[in-house]
Chain A
Amino acid sequence: MTLSAVPASLRLPPWRALLLRPAGLTGTIIVAIVTVAALAAPLIATHDPIAVDLSRKLLPPGATHWLGTDQTGRDIFSRIVWGARPSLAVGLLAVLIGAAGGIMFGLTAAFARGWWEQVAMRIMDGLASIPLLIWAIAITGIVGIGPVRIGMWTFPNESKLILLIGLLYMPPLARVTYGSALLEVRADYVQARRLQGAGASAIMLGDVLPNCLSPVIVQATLLIAVGIVVEASLSFIGLGVEPPFPSWGGMLADARRYIFSGEWWTYIFPGLAISLTVIGFNLLGDGLRDILDPRKVSGSGRMVV
């Protein structure tokens, strides 16, 4: 990169710069489609996703059943549309928990320094040394498969996943917050705000946090993709979303025996739904990184799972 040319991304508002890049545009479109599908599932789905009709089982894609039917005659298109809900719920809620905790630890560690910095970052190191997938399996295994009842509320089985993934998302998000907050805390404007008499929490949340958010947003977008893959994988082995409720991973678990008998629509479409959704969030995350954090090579610096 030459120094004389100011990158286009610095002159445009970020969302314009994002949509001008093919990767960013593709990612945004895919994420928008999946979000609309999840929110408006009852309006978009053409059939009841759990209505069994054995007389219509394993129909190939056609006019009434756009993507065919599964082994109990359920409409695959409708199940894919409804299946967007648990996928996005796990992906988004886990990242929200992780971001809330990660920002809290990262920001206060950079701000307070001293013993709290040590304690907070050592807690994050400890959490980072726990392998996500094994523990997602272990938690459901130990607590047991089934809904969680707390008082008058009943939470679905995948809420255990959301809590665990959210907890393990804290370290990467805390580290990026901490890294950029350390630089910001030394900046002149923070000193100026102190002299104005602003309180520590006002400076932290009102001034420093907005300046640290770019890398957090990039990382969070990429982590949504990870959460969706983990949810689908656990639903596939029967530890995630419980049947008969539709989930992409669960649909593939039902469909695996049809690989041998040729009903390709049962295992192609749910897999495409997962892969395209995850590609969408990854492209969006990489696109955001190119704009907000242009020094990084796109695709590097991911949380590995």
Chain B
Amino acid sequence: MFVILGRVLSSLGVLVAVSIVLFTLVHAIPVSPARVVLGGDASEEDIAEFERDNGLDRPVIVQYLSWAGGVMKGDLGRSLIDNTVIAVTISQTLPVTLELVLWSFCLALVIAVPLGVLSAYHEDRWIDHLARVVATLGVSIPTFWLGLMLIAWGAVGLGWFPAGGYVPWSAGAKPHLLSMTLPSVSLGLYYVAIISRMTRSSVGDVLMADHVRVSRAMGLSRGRILIYVLRNALSPVVTVAAMSFGYMFGWALIVEQVFTIPGMSRALLNAIFRRDYLVIVNVVLVITAMFLVANLIADLLYRWLDPRTAR
């Protein structure tokens, strides 16, 4: 129990440290955000007035604390450029990104785990070699190029899928799912590679264990043995899978750009090109938080599945 509490606290600690680093970075830049917003020809008085109105003339620590206090209450502040409420921007874009990540995650698991188990069971046979080729290609082909090639093949060539854009659920399940297919595949392939290799190596280790040999000698059925093997081999796979879920948010931003999906990437890149720094800080913080939660779940699942590590 204390271990879990400790892990939760350390994740929170990292999040606080991350937010301090982000805030410091913003204020370490010699150019005032006011200058960025108002443009190069704004007068000194305008700058001073803007800074006073937005509280930018206060000491950095005070600004940080007032912003952090707002975050606790779910108030992330307003954009300095167009005054939109940042929490609203995030609540509109996060579900889209989350859905993309979830589809890719399920796709990756459904393909990777059986592929890894099969290649461990048939070491050095054709399925093992195939899995190795898939894994090498998966970690090597950049998601965004894969996305472009899938558009060229599935949308322009065959015409089965839309070339981009986001069709909401309300427009019907089929068009919605079709619009999510190519992005999910491009985001998922890398993780098929990672998770299948982990499964292959973990199942391979367990297959060499004594208890498997004993079970075979006792004449247990293959299916029964497979269950025992999976139960023992699964904990590193679950850890990698849960961590992958966190990492997917990063690549989802790139995939969203390829398929022009209105998720977090649109909010973040708009903010970057407009130097809307408060939006950047909050979006990065939200995605880092997602990542830390995924890591925390990975860690807790690992302890739960493999009690030996808790000691």
Contact = CB atoms under 8 A, between A and B. Distances in A.
B142 A275 contact: yes
Interface stretch (B22-30, B98-106, B209-217): B22-30
Interface stretch (B56-64, B67-75, B265-273): B265-273
A42 interface: no
Contacts of B140: 225, 229, 275, 278-279, 282
B272 A302 contact: no
A26 B273 CA distance: 41
A279 to B, nearest CB: 4
A258 to B, nearest CB: 10
B42 interface: no
Given A142-B26, A143-B25, A296 B14 contact: no
B148 A256 contact: yes
A138 B253 contact: no
Interface string B4-40: 0000000100100110001001100100000000000
- Which of A131, A135, A267, A297 neighbours the largest number of chain B CB atoms within 10 Å of its CB? A131
A38 B219 CA distance: 60
Contact of B253 (A126, A133, A259, A279): A133
A304 B244 contact: yes
Given A131-B291, A256-B148, A271-B145, A302 B284 contact: no
- Which of B163, B201, B271 neighbours the largest number of chain A CB atoms within 10 Å of its CB? B201
A145 to B, nearest CB: 8
B243 interface: yes
Interface in A116-165: 126, 129-135, 137-145
A283 interface: yes
A142 B156 CA distance: 37
B143 interface: yes
Given A131-B249, A283-B136, A297-B204, A259 B22 contact: no
Given A141-B272, A275-B141, A282-B136, A233 B254 contact: yes
A249 to B, nearest CB: 8
A166 B4 CA distance: 31
Contacts, number: 157
A299 interface: yes
Interface residue SS majority, chain B? helix
Given A134-B287, A236-B257, A237-B269, A142 B22 contact: yes
Contact of A131 (B29, B152, B204, B247): B247
A260 interface: yes
A239 interface: yes
A130 B194 CA distance: 19
Contacts of B201: 296-297, 299-301
Contacts of A28: none
B295 A134 contact: no
B139 to A, nearest CB: 6
A135 B284 contact: yes
Contacts of B271: 141
Interface of A: 126, 129-135, 137-145, 225, 229, 232-233, 236-239, 249, 252, 255-256, 259-260, 264, 267, 271, 274-275, 278-279, 282-283, 286, 296-302, 304-305
